[in-house]
Structure 1
Amino acid sequence: MQVSDFDYNLPPELIAQYPAVQRDAARMMAVNRSSGEIVHTNFKSIPDYLQEGDLLVFNETRVFPARLFGKRVKTGGKLEALLLEEKEPGIWEALVRPGRYARQGEEVIFGDSLQAVIGEGTASGGRFIKFPTQDQQEFWEQVYKIGEVPLPPYIKRPAEEMDKDRYQTVYARSVGSAAAPTAGLHFTEEILEQLQDKGVQFAFVVLHVGLGTFRPVHAQKVEEHQMHAEFWRLD
C-alpha cells in the first residue's frame, strides 16, 4: 500500500489555529453504519450515540511543556530542545535544534538556570541530554516555568499560556507525553458524568505520545515505515 494513497486536499484556511471556546462545541460527524445516514452535529451530542454497556477506553497520559529554549554556554548560540522520554534519572532523549551545532559534552542553560549537558546521538536521530540536578521537584518546577507546549506542526502560531490547559484532556493524570492524545480533547467533565449516568463503562490506559508525532513519514510504502516505540501501561 502506497503512503500516497492517503493524500487528500485540506485547504490551510480550514485548519483551526485555536480550539473552540467550549471543548464540546467542536463539530462532529456521525455515520449510521446500517443506513449510511450522515449527521453533522457537535461533540456535545456524543452521549446520544452511546448506550448502556458500551465501553470507552481513555488514554490518561498528561502532556508536559516539553519544548525548552536555551543557549550554549560557550558561544551564547540559541538552542531548542524537545524532551521526549526520560531514559534514566536525569537523562532525556530529545530532539535538538540546531542539532549540527550541539556537540557532545557541550553545556547548555535553559531559561535562566536549568543546566544541561548535550550527550551522544540516539538511534532515532535525536540526542541525549543530561540534567545534572538530582532534585526531581526542582527539575519539574523549572520545566513547567520555562517550557512551552509543543503544538502540532499544523498549528502555525506560537504556543500560548492557555495551551497548557487546552492542549490537555480533562482526565489527564500521568505526566509523560510530548503531544496530546487529541481524540480525547473534546470530552468535558459534564459529558463524562452524563455517560456514566447512562451506564457507559470507562477504562483507562497510559500511552505517552512521543517522537512519532513529530517525525514525517519518508517511506513510499506503508509497510516500509519504521514505527518508533512508545511507553504504555495497563493497570
Structure 2
Amino acid sequence: MRVDLFDFELPQERIALRPVRPRDAARMLVVRGQDAPFEDRGVRDLPALLEPGDVLVFNDTRVIPAQLEGRRASGEAKIGATLHKRVDLRRWQAFIRNAKRVKEGDQLVFGGGVTAIAEERHSDGSMTLLFEGDEPVEVLLDRAGSMPLPPYIAQKRGIDEQDLADYQTMFAKEDGAVAAPTASLHFTPELIEAIDARGIKRETLTLHVGAGTFLPVKADDTEDHQMHSEFGRISQEAADRLNLARAGGSRIIAVGTTALRLLESAACDDGTIQPFAGDTDIFITPGYRFKGVDGLMTNFHLPKSTLVMLVSALMGRERMMAAYQHAIREQYRFYSYGDSSLLLP
C-alpha cells in the first residue's frame, strides 16, 4: 500500500509536551465498528467500557537511560548515541548522530568516564557499540545516559528530572526499553483498583521497545519498509491464562501497540497464544488478519508511521483517518504524553 494513504495534517499545538496529572485524567476516544458514533470519554471510564472477564495485557518493560552524548577519543567530533537493542552483555546496537565522523574501531568517550568501541556498522545506519570495563552496562548507563524522549518532545524542550518519572509506566520492571509503552502511562493504582473491582483481568508480557519505533517510514510503499526487530517474552503461564480466558468467551485487549505486536507474533492461526522468547519484527498493515487480540488501547500516533498503519489494519483505514480528524477537531492531545483511544472492532 502507498505510505501517503496514512498521512494527515497535525497542528503542532496538538503535540503534548507533558502528561496530564493525574495520569488517569487523560481523555480517551472510543472507536467501535463502522456504524457506531465516536465516543468522547476519559481513561477513568475504561472499567465501565469493558466486560467482567475481559483481559487487559500490559507491557512490563522498563525504559533505560539510553541516550548518550560524547565524542571520538581521537578528536573533538561530537556524537550522540541512542541505544536500540541489546546484542549481548556488553554490546548494544545504537543509532549514531554525526555517524559519518565515526569509523569502525573508534573509541567513543561519554560522560562519567564511560567508553565504548564502535564495532560493526549495519545497513540501517546503526552501529554495534562494545562498552568497555567490568561494570555492568546498566550501571554505566545510569552514570552517563539520559532518558530517551521521542524527538518530537526533545526537540521542543530539554529533558529534565520529571521525565524520569513521567516516561516510566507503573508496570515497569524488566530493564531494556529505549522508548516507553506509552498506552500504559495512563494507569494509576486507583484505576487498577477500579479495573479489578469490575472483574477485569490483567496479564503482563515483556517487549523491549527499540528506537526504531521513532523512525519515519522512508519508503513510498509499505512493501519496501523494513521493521527493526525487538526482543519479547511471553511466559507459559501467561499464555495459558490468556488461552483459558479466550476459550471462556472473554476478550483480549492489548494495552499499547507493543503488547499487541507481541501477542500477534505469538498467536497461531487458530488464535491460540504460544509462549514466546525471541525477536519479532512483525509489520501489521491493512489486510492483516488478527489472531491474538480483540481490541487495543493506544495513544494517537505520527502521520505515515507504522503504528498508524497498525491501527488502520485493526479498524479500517478510512475509519481511523476519520477518528484522527475527529480527535484533532476535538483538541485531543497527541503522541507519547498525549491522550488515549480505545479501539474495539
Question: What is the one-letter code of the residue matched to 1:47?
Answer: P
Does structure 2 retain, via aligned residues, the 8 Å contact 1:90–1:134? no
Distance in 2 (alpha carbons) for counterparts of 1:19 and 1:211: 21
Q: Are 1:145 and 2:148 matched, yes or no? A: no
Q: Residue in 2 aligned with 1:64?
A: 64
Give the % identical residues: 39
Q: Which 4+ residue blocks in structure 1 deviate beyond 6 angstroms?
A: none
Q: Alpha carbons of 1:74 and 1:222: their partners in 2 closer, same or farther (altered >3 Å)?
A: same
Structure 2: runs of 5+ lacking an equivalent: 236-345
Does structure 2 retain, via aligned residues, the 8 Å contact 1:67–1:148? yes
Between Structure 1 and Structure 2, the one with more helix by share is 2
Question: What is the one-letter code of the residue matched to 2:192?
Answer: L
Distance in 2 (alpha carbons) for counterparts of 1:211 and 1:164: 17
Distance in 1 (alpha carbons) for counterparts of 2:65 and 2:176: 10
Q: Residue in 1 aligned with 2:342?
A: none
Does structure 2 retain, via aligned residues, the 8 Å contact 1:63–1:180? yes
Structure 1: runs of 5+ lacking an equivalent: none
Pairwise CA distance, 1:13: 1.1
Pairwise CA distance, 1:36: 1.8
Deviations 1:54-108 (A, max 9, x none): 1111111111110011122221322211111221221111011110001121112
Pairwise CA distance, 1:35: 6.8
> SS in structure 2 opposite 1:89?
coil
Report the TM-score when normalising by structure 2: 0.64
Distance in 2 (alpha carbons) for counterparts of 1:62 and 1:201: 22
Q: Residue in 1 aligned with 2:257?
A: none
> SS in structure 2 opposite 1:183?
helix
Distance in 2 (alpha carbons) for counterparts of 1:196 and 1:162: 29
Pairwise CA distance, 1:219: 1.4
Provide the alpha-carbon RMSD of the alignment: 1.7
Pairwise CA distance, 1:15: 0.9
Pairwise CA distance, 1:225: 1.5
Between Structure 1 and Structure 2, the one with more strand by share is 1
Distance in 2 (alpha carbons) for counterparts of 1:4 and 1:77: 37
Aligned residues: 233
Q: Are 1:24 and 2:5 matched, yes or no? A: no
Report the TM-score when normalising by structure 1: 0.93
Question: What is the one-letter code of the residue matched to 2:144?
Answer: I
Question: What is the one-letter code of the residue matched to 2:140?
Answer: Q
Deviations 1:16-42 (A, max 9, x none): 111112111111112454972333232
Distance in 2 (alpha carbons) for counterparts of 1:34 and 1:93: 42
Distance in 2 (alpha carbons) for counterparts of 1:51 and 1:6: 32
